Protein backbone atom coordinates (compact mmCIF):
# COMPACT_ATOMS: atom_id res chain seq x y z
CA UNK A 1 0.00 0.00 0.00
CA UNK A 2 1.42 3.37 -1.01
CA UNK A 3 -0.72 5.16 1.58
CA UNK A 4 -1.58 3.62 4.95
CA UNK A 5 -4.87 5.21 6.01
CA UNK A 6 -4.83 3.36 9.34
CA UNK A 7 -1.45 4.85 10.16
CA UNK A 8 -2.64 8.33 9.17
CA UNK A 9 -5.57 8.10 11.59
CA UNK A 10 -3.48 6.34 14.22
CA UNK A 11 -5.76 3.33 14.61
CA UNK A 12 -5.33 -0.42 14.20
CA UNK A 13 -6.72 -2.37 11.25
CA UNK A 14 -9.32 -3.85 13.62
CA UNK A 15 -10.58 -0.42 14.76
CA UNK A 16 -14.34 0.00 15.09
CA UNK A 17 -16.33 2.74 13.37
CA UNK A 18 -16.55 4.61 16.68
CA UNK A 19 -12.78 4.44 17.22
CA UNK A 20 -12.14 5.70 13.67
CA UNK A 21 -14.52 8.62 14.18
CA UNK A 22 -12.97 9.62 17.50
CA UNK A 23 -9.45 9.40 16.09
CA UNK A 24 -10.52 11.60 13.19
CA UNK A 25 -12.03 14.28 15.45
CA UNK A 26 -8.96 14.27 17.68
CA UNK A 27 -6.47 14.67 14.83
CA UNK A 28 -8.65 17.14 12.93
CA UNK A 29 -8.56 19.56 15.87
CA UNK A 30 -4.76 19.39 15.83
CA UNK A 31 -4.08 19.45 12.09
CA UNK A 32 -6.69 21.93 10.86
CA UNK A 33 -4.89 24.84 9.12
CA UNK A 34 -6.84 27.37 11.20
CA UNK A 35 -5.15 26.12 14.36
CA UNK A 36 -1.96 24.53 13.00
CA UNK A 37 0.47 26.98 11.38
CA UNK A 38 2.97 24.37 10.12
CA UNK A 39 3.82 24.71 6.42
CA UNK A 40 2.44 21.23 5.64
CA UNK A 41 -0.66 21.47 7.85
CA UNK A 42 -3.04 21.84 4.91
CA UNK A 43 -1.61 18.81 3.09
CA UNK A 44 -1.77 16.68 6.23
CA UNK A 45 -5.35 17.77 6.88
CA UNK A 46 -6.38 16.80 3.34
CA UNK A 47 -4.64 13.46 3.81
CA UNK A 48 -6.54 12.96 7.07
CA UNK A 49 -9.86 13.73 5.34
CA UNK A 50 -9.04 11.22 2.60
CA UNK A 51 -8.24 8.52 5.16
CA UNK A 52 -11.48 9.16 7.07
CA UNK A 53 -13.55 9.23 3.87
CA UNK A 54 -12.35 5.71 3.01
CA UNK A 55 -12.29 4.05 6.43
CA UNK A 56 -15.64 5.47 7.59
CA UNK A 57 -17.40 3.90 4.61
CA UNK A 58 -17.82 0.11 4.92
CA UNK A 59 -17.72 -0.52 1.16
CA UNK A 60 -14.65 1.64 0.57
CA UNK A 61 -12.91 0.21 3.61
CA UNK A 62 -13.49 -3.38 2.44
CA UNK A 63 -12.12 -2.51 -1.00
CA UNK A 64 -9.10 -0.77 0.55
CA UNK A 65 -8.37 -3.69 2.89
CA UNK A 66 -8.47 -6.14 -0.01
CA UNK A 67 -6.73 -4.23 -2.80
CA UNK A 68 -4.84 -1.45 -1.00
CA UNK A 69 -6.70 1.25 -2.92
CA UNK A 70 -10.22 2.47 -3.71
CA UNK A 71 -11.32 2.81 -7.32
CA UNK A 72 -14.29 4.85 -8.55
CA UNK A 73 -16.75 6.44 -6.15
CA UNK A 74 -16.99 3.39 -3.86
CA UNK A 75 -20.75 2.83 -3.96
CA UNK A 76 -21.92 5.08 -1.16
CA UNK A 77 -22.28 8.05 -3.48
CA UNK A 78 -23.85 6.36 -6.52
CA UNK A 79 -26.49 9.00 -7.07
CA UNK A 80 -25.21 11.86 -4.94
CA UNK A 81 -23.06 14.70 -6.17
CA UNK A 82 -21.28 15.77 -2.96
CA UNK A 83 -19.06 18.21 -4.83
CA UNK A 84 -21.55 21.03 -4.32
CA UNK A 85 -22.13 20.66 -0.57
CA UNK A 86 -23.15 24.01 0.94
CA UNK A 87 -24.05 25.31 -2.50
CA UNK A 88 -20.87 24.61 -4.45
CA UNK A 89 -17.25 23.80 -3.78
CA UNK A 90 -17.72 23.46 -0.04
CA UNK A 91 -15.90 20.39 1.27
CA UNK A 92 -14.71 18.87 4.53
CA UNK A 93 -12.00 21.51 4.94
CA UNK A 94 -14.59 24.29 4.90
CA UNK A 95 -16.81 22.20 7.12
CA UNK A 96 -14.12 22.18 9.80
CA UNK A 97 -13.32 25.83 9.19
CA UNK A 98 -16.92 26.56 10.14
CA UNK A 99 -16.61 24.21 13.13
CA UNK A 100 -13.45 25.82 14.49
CA UNK A 101 -14.53 29.37 13.75
CA UNK A 102 -11.84 30.05 11.16
CA UNK A 103 -9.76 33.19 10.94
CA UNK A 104 -12.79 35.36 11.57
CA UNK A 105 -13.36 34.03 15.09
CA UNK A 106 -13.52 36.89 17.56
CA UNK A 107 -14.18 39.56 14.90
CA UNK A 108 -17.75 38.69 13.95
CA UNK A 109 -20.68 37.27 15.86
CA UNK A 110 -20.93 33.51 15.41
CA UNK A 111 -24.06 32.44 13.57
CA UNK A 112 -26.05 30.19 15.91
CA UNK A 113 -28.58 28.90 13.39
CA UNK A 114 -27.42 26.14 11.08
CA UNK A 115 -26.89 26.95 7.41
CA UNK A 116 -28.73 25.38 4.49
CA UNK A 117 -26.81 22.72 2.59
CA UNK A 118 -27.10 21.44 -0.95
CA UNK A 119 -26.55 18.06 -2.62
CA UNK A 120 -27.19 16.80 -6.13
CA UNK A 121 -29.27 13.71 -6.91
CA UNK A 122 -29.09 11.92 -10.27
CA UNK A 123 -32.14 10.05 -11.57
CA UNK A 124 -32.96 8.01 -14.65
CA UNK A 125 -36.02 8.87 -16.72
CA UNK A 126 -37.62 5.59 -15.61
CA UNK A 127 -37.21 6.67 -11.96
CA UNK A 128 -38.81 10.02 -12.80
CA UNK A 129 -41.77 8.18 -14.34
CA UNK A 130 -42.49 5.98 -11.32
CA UNK A 131 -41.15 8.06 -8.42
CA UNK A 132 -38.38 6.56 -6.34
CA UNK A 133 -36.91 6.24 -2.85
CA UNK A 134 -33.22 7.15 -2.67
CA UNK A 135 -30.52 7.16 0.02
CA UNK A 136 -28.46 10.33 0.36
CA UNK A 137 -24.98 10.27 1.91
CA UNK A 138 -23.39 13.59 2.85
CA UNK A 139 -21.19 15.23 5.49
CA UNK A 140 -22.56 17.91 7.79
CA UNK A 141 -22.25 19.42 11.25
CA UNK A 142 -24.72 17.20 13.11
CA UNK A 143 -26.03 17.49 16.68
CA UNK A 144 -23.60 16.02 19.20
CA UNK A 145 -25.03 12.73 20.48
CA UNK A 146 -23.25 13.04 23.85
CA UNK A 147 -24.90 16.33 24.92
CA UNK A 148 -27.94 16.08 22.60
CA UNK A 149 -26.86 19.23 20.80
CA UNK A 150 -26.80 21.52 23.86
CA UNK A 151 -23.02 21.73 24.23
CA UNK A 152 -23.44 21.34 28.00
CA UNK A 153 -22.10 18.42 30.04
CA UNK A 154 -24.27 16.74 32.65
CA UNK A 155 -24.69 19.12 35.58
CA UNK A 156 -23.53 22.11 33.53
CA UNK A 157 -25.43 25.28 32.58
CA UNK A 158 -25.48 28.15 30.13
CA UNK A 159 -24.54 31.24 32.13
CA UNK A 160 -24.17 34.94 31.41
CA UNK A 161 -20.80 35.83 29.94
CA UNK A 162 -18.79 37.67 32.60
CA UNK A 163 -16.63 39.46 30.03
CA UNK A 164 -19.46 41.24 28.19
CA UNK A 165 -22.14 40.96 30.93
CA UNK A 166 -24.46 39.12 28.55
CA UNK A 167 -24.49 41.78 25.82
CA UNK A 168 -22.28 39.89 23.35
CA UNK A 169 -20.39 43.16 22.72
CA UNK A 170 -17.37 44.80 24.31
CA UNK A 171 -16.92 48.59 24.28
CA UNK A 172 -13.41 50.00 24.38
CA UNK A 173 -12.24 53.62 24.67
CA UNK A 174 -9.28 54.95 22.72
CA UNK A 175 -7.73 58.37 23.21
CA UNK A 176 -6.88 60.17 19.93
CA UNK A 177 -5.97 63.72 18.91
CA UNK A 178 -9.66 64.18 18.02
CA UNK A 179 -10.73 63.13 21.48
CA UNK A 180 -11.91 59.87 23.01
CA UNK A 181 -13.09 57.30 20.43
CA UNK A 182 -15.50 54.55 21.44
CA UNK A 183 -15.21 51.19 19.64
CA UNK A 184 -17.65 48.30 19.94
CA UNK A 185 -16.49 44.77 19.05
CA UNK A 186 -17.84 41.24 19.34
CA UNK A 187 -16.99 39.60 22.64
CA UNK A 188 -14.13 37.18 22.09
CA UNK A 189 -15.15 35.00 25.03
CA UNK A 190 -18.73 34.19 23.99
CA UNK A 191 -18.40 35.08 20.26
CA UNK A 192 -21.33 37.48 20.55
CA UNK A 193 -23.86 35.08 22.10
CA UNK A 194 -23.78 36.66 25.57
CA UNK A 195 -23.67 33.17 27.10
CA UNK A 196 -20.93 30.78 28.18
CA UNK A 197 -21.01 27.22 29.47
CA UNK A 198 -19.62 26.44 32.89
CA UNK A 199 -19.16 22.73 32.04
CA UNK A 200 -18.86 22.31 28.26
CA UNK A 201 -19.36 18.91 26.65
CA UNK A 202 -15.98 17.22 26.23
CA UNK A 203 -16.97 15.52 22.97
CA UNK A 204 -17.96 18.65 21.02
CA UNK A 205 -16.10 21.20 23.20
CA UNK A 206 -19.31 23.10 23.93
CA UNK A 207 -20.38 23.56 20.29
CA UNK A 208 -23.33 21.17 20.48
CA UNK A 209 -22.45 19.80 17.04
CA UNK A 210 -19.80 17.66 15.36
CA UNK A 211 -18.83 16.79 11.78
CA UNK A 212 -20.54 13.55 10.83
CA UNK A 213 -21.59 11.52 7.80
CA UNK A 214 -25.35 11.35 7.37
CA UNK A 215 -27.44 8.65 5.68
CA UNK A 216 -31.05 9.61 4.97
CA UNK A 217 -33.79 8.30 2.69
CA UNK A 218 -35.78 10.63 0.46
CA UNK A 219 -39.02 10.00 -1.44
CA UNK A 220 -38.83 11.61 -4.88
CA UNK A 221 -42.32 12.10 -6.40
CA UNK A 222 -42.99 11.08 -9.99
CA UNK A 223 -42.75 13.65 -12.75
CA UNK A 224 -39.99 15.74 -11.15
CA UNK A 225 -38.01 17.83 -13.64
CA UNK A 226 -34.31 18.34 -14.25
CA UNK A 227 -32.99 21.15 -12.04
CA UNK A 228 -36.00 21.05 -9.69
CA UNK A 229 -35.20 21.21 -5.98
CA UNK A 230 -36.60 19.42 -2.94
CA UNK A 231 -36.15 20.96 0.52
CA UNK A 232 -35.72 18.70 3.56
CA UNK A 233 -36.45 20.74 6.68
CA UNK A 234 -33.84 20.48 9.42
CA UNK A 235 -31.43 18.17 7.60
CA UNK A 236 -28.84 20.87 6.89
CA UNK A 237 -26.14 22.13 9.24
CA UNK A 238 -27.04 21.80 12.93
CA UNK A 239 -27.24 24.99 14.98
CA UNK A 240 -24.96 25.86 17.90
CA UNK A 241 -26.25 24.90 21.37
CA UNK A 242 -29.42 23.38 19.91
CA UNK A 243 -30.35 26.38 17.73
CA UNK A 244 -32.52 25.69 14.69
CA UNK A 245 -30.86 23.59 11.99
CA UNK A 246 -30.63 24.55 8.35
CA UNK A 247 -32.36 22.71 5.52
CA UNK A 248 -30.98 20.24 3.01
CA UNK A 249 -31.71 21.35 -0.56
CA UNK A 250 -31.65 18.47 -3.05
CA UNK A 251 -31.17 19.46 -6.71
CA UNK A 252 -32.38 16.79 -9.13
CA UNK A 253 -30.47 16.01 -12.32
CA UNK A 254 -32.14 13.68 -14.83
CA UNK A 255 -29.91 11.57 -17.07
CA UNK A 256 -30.56 11.52 -20.81
CA UNK A 257 -32.48 8.51 -22.06
CA UNK A 258 -31.14 6.39 -24.92
CA UNK A 259 -34.52 6.19 -26.69
CA UNK A 260 -36.82 8.87 -25.31
CA UNK A 261 -36.43 12.65 -25.22
CA UNK A 262 -38.30 14.68 -22.63
CA UNK A 263 -40.14 17.92 -23.30
CA UNK A 264 -42.00 18.96 -20.16
CA UNK A 265 -44.40 16.11 -19.39
CA UNK A 266 -44.34 14.92 -23.02
CA UNK A 267 -41.96 12.38 -24.52
CA UNK A 268 -40.57 12.07 -28.05
CA UNK A 269 -39.24 8.96 -29.75
CA UNK A 270 -38.67 7.52 -33.26
CA UNK A 271 -40.05 4.40 -34.93
CA UNK A 272 -39.09 2.75 -38.24
CA UNK A 273 -41.82 1.55 -40.63
CA UNK A 274 -41.78 0.03 -44.10
CA UNK A 275 -42.98 1.76 -47.28
CA UNK A 276 -46.06 -0.47 -47.37
CA UNK A 277 -46.93 0.39 -43.74
CA UNK A 278 -46.54 4.05 -44.60
CA UNK A 279 -48.77 3.74 -47.66
CA UNK A 280 -51.47 1.47 -46.23
CA UNK A 281 -51.34 2.40 -42.56
CA UNK A 282 -50.46 0.06 -39.70
CA UNK A 283 -50.48 -0.50 -35.97
CA UNK A 284 -47.07 -0.83 -34.30
CA UNK A 285 -46.15 -1.38 -30.66
CA UNK A 286 -43.24 0.24 -28.80
CA UNK A 287 -41.97 0.15 -25.21
CA UNK A 288 -43.34 2.92 -23.00
CA UNK A 289 -41.65 4.67 -20.09
CA UNK A 290 -43.46 2.74 -17.33
CA UNK A 291 -42.34 -0.80 -16.39
CA UNK A 292 -43.59 -3.47 -18.87
CA UNK A 293 -45.66 -0.85 -20.71
CA UNK A 294 -46.41 -1.46 -24.42
CA UNK A 295 -47.78 1.53 -26.32
CA UNK A 296 -50.02 1.06 -29.36
CA UNK A 297 -49.15 3.52 -32.15
CA UNK A 298 -51.55 3.79 -35.09
CA UNK A 299 -49.81 4.80 -38.30
CA UNK A 300 -52.27 6.50 -40.69
CA UNK A 301 -52.36 5.50 -44.35
CA UNK A 302 -50.25 7.77 -46.51
CA UNK A 303 -47.89 8.52 -43.62
CA UNK A 304 -44.88 10.55 -44.71
CA UNK A 305 -41.26 10.29 -43.60
CA UNK A 306 -40.64 12.26 -40.36
CA UNK A 307 -44.37 12.66 -39.78
CA UNK A 308 -45.33 12.82 -36.09
CA UNK A 309 -48.01 10.57 -34.56
CA UNK A 310 -49.38 11.25 -31.08
CA UNK A 311 -50.14 8.61 -28.45
CA UNK A 312 -52.21 10.45 -25.86
CA UNK A 313 -51.57 9.99 -22.12
CA UNK A 314 -48.47 7.84 -22.72
CA UNK A 315 -45.88 10.42 -21.65
CA UNK A 316 -44.55 11.14 -18.16
CA UNK A 317 -46.83 11.33 -15.13
CA UNK A 318 -47.44 14.95 -14.09
CA UNK A 319 -45.53 16.09 -10.98
CA UNK A 320 -47.68 15.59 -7.86
CA UNK A 321 -50.85 15.37 -9.99
CA UNK A 322 -53.00 12.81 -11.77
CA UNK A 323 -52.65 12.30 -15.51
CA UNK A 324 -49.79 11.99 -17.96
CA UNK A 325 -48.31 13.89 -20.85
CA UNK A 326 -48.34 12.56 -24.43
CA UNK A 327 -45.90 10.43 -26.39
CA UNK A 328 -44.97 11.86 -29.80
CA UNK A 329 -43.70 9.26 -32.25
CA UNK A 330 -41.59 10.53 -35.17
CA UNK A 331 -41.87 8.16 -38.12
CA UNK A 332 -38.93 7.10 -40.29
CA UNK A 333 -39.95 5.35 -43.52
CA UNK A 334 -37.34 2.73 -44.40
CA UNK A 335 -36.70 2.00 -48.09
CA UNK A 336 -35.38 -1.55 -48.58
CA UNK A 337 -31.84 -1.77 -49.94
CA UNK A 338 -32.36 -5.19 -51.57
CA UNK A 339 -35.46 -6.95 -52.92
CA UNK A 340 -36.43 -10.48 -53.72
CA UNK A 341 -37.47 -11.24 -57.31
CA UNK A 342 -41.14 -11.32 -56.36
CA UNK A 343 -40.90 -8.04 -54.38
CA UNK A 344 -39.27 -6.31 -57.34
CA UNK A 345 -41.96 -7.57 -59.72
CA UNK A 346 -44.72 -6.31 -57.44
CA UNK A 347 -43.11 -2.90 -57.07
CA UNK A 348 -42.63 -2.63 -60.81
CA UNK A 349 -46.31 -3.42 -61.33
CA UNK A 350 -47.19 -0.77 -58.76
CA UNK A 351 -44.94 1.73 -60.51
CA UNK A 352 -46.73 0.99 -63.80
CA UNK A 353 -50.05 1.48 -62.05
CA UNK A 354 -48.91 4.89 -60.79
CA UNK A 355 -47.34 5.74 -64.11
CA UNK A 356 -43.93 6.17 -62.56
CA UNK A 357 -40.79 6.19 -64.69
CA UNK A 358 -38.38 3.76 -63.04
CA UNK A 359 -34.96 2.29 -63.79
CA UNK A 360 -36.03 -1.34 -63.75
CA UNK A 361 -33.57 -4.21 -63.93
CA UNK A 362 -35.29 -6.73 -66.25
CA UNK A 363 -34.22 -10.29 -66.82
CA UNK A 364 -33.40 -11.66 -70.29
CA UNK A 365 -36.63 -13.70 -70.36
CA UNK A 366 -38.68 -10.58 -69.49
CA UNK A 367 -37.09 -8.66 -72.35
CA UNK A 368 -37.77 -11.51 -74.84
CA UNK A 369 -41.44 -11.62 -73.73
CA UNK A 370 -41.74 -7.84 -74.26
CA UNK A 371 -40.26 -8.14 -77.82
CA UNK A 372 -42.57 -11.02 -78.80
CA UNK A 373 -45.61 -9.21 -77.46
Confidence of residue 247 (pLDDT cuts 50, 70, 90): very high
Mean pLDDT value across residues 240-249: 91
pLDDT tens, residue by residue, 326-371: 999 999 999 999 999 999 999 999 999 989 888 766 666 766 776 6
Which carries the bigger pLDDT value, residue 142 or residue 29?
A: 142
Confidence (pLDDT) at 12 = 93
Distance (Å, whole) CA 277 – CA 258: 25
- DSSP-based three-state secondary structure for 300: coil
**Is the pLDDT confidence value at 92 over 80?**
no
In a domain, 57, yes or no: no
Q: Is residue 363 part of a domain?
A: yes
Residue 152 included in any domain? no
**Are residues 287 and 326 located together in one domain of the fold?**
yes
Residues 329 and 277 in one domain: yes
Which range (98-102, 165-169, 220-224, 253-257) has the least confidence?
Answer: 98-102
44-53, 139-148, 169-178, 197-206 — which is least confidently predicted?
A: 169-178
Q: Phi and psi dihedrals of 9, rounded to 5?
A: -80, -20
Instruction: Say yes or no to pLDDT of 93 above 50.
Output: no
12-40 as b/e: b if 16+ CB within 10 A: eeebeeeebbebbbebbeebbbbeeeeee
Would strands 117-123 and 248-254 be described as parallel, antiparallel, or unpaired? Answer: parallel
1 domain-assigned: no
Report the pLDDT averaged over residues 255-283.
96
Do residue 364 and residue 311 come from a single domain? no
Per the structure, the count of domains in the chain is 2
For residue 362, tell me if it sits in a domain.
Answer: yes
SS3 47: helix
Within a domain: 20 = no
329 and 356 fall within a common domain = no
Percentage, residues of the chain above pLDDT 90: 46
- Cα end-to-end distance, the chain, whole Å: 90
Q: How many residues does the chain have?
A: 373
Specify the pLDDT at position 284.
Answer: 97
The boundaries of the domain holding residue 363 are 348-372
Residue 189: inside a domain, yes or no? no
What's the distance, CA 32 to chain centroid?
A: 28
Average pLDDT, the chain: 84
| CATH value at residue 278 | 2.60.260.20
Let me know if residue 190 belongs to a domain.
Answer: no
Which pLDDT score is estimated for 79? 35
Cross-sheet strand order for the sheet of 327-334: 261-263, 266-274, 327-334, 308-311
Does residue 63 register a pLDDT over 70? Answer: yes
* φ, ψ dihedrals at 196, nearest 5°: -130, 165
Q: State pLDDT tens for residues 117-141.
A: 999 999 999 999 999 999 998 888 8
Q: Does the structure show a pLDDT above 80 at 2?
A: no
353/328 same-domain check: no
Amino acid sequence: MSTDYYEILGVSREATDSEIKKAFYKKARILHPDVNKAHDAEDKFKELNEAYDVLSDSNKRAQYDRFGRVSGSGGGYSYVDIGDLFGGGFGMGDLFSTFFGGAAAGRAAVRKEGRDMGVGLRLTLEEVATGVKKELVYDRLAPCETCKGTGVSKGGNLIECEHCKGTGRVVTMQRTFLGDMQTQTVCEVCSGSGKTIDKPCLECEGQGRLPDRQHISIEVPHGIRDGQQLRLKGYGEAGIHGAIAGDLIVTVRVDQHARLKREGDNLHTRVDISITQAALGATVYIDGILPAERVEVRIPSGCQNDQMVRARNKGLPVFKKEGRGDLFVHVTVIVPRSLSKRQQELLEELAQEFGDDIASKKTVSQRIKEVLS
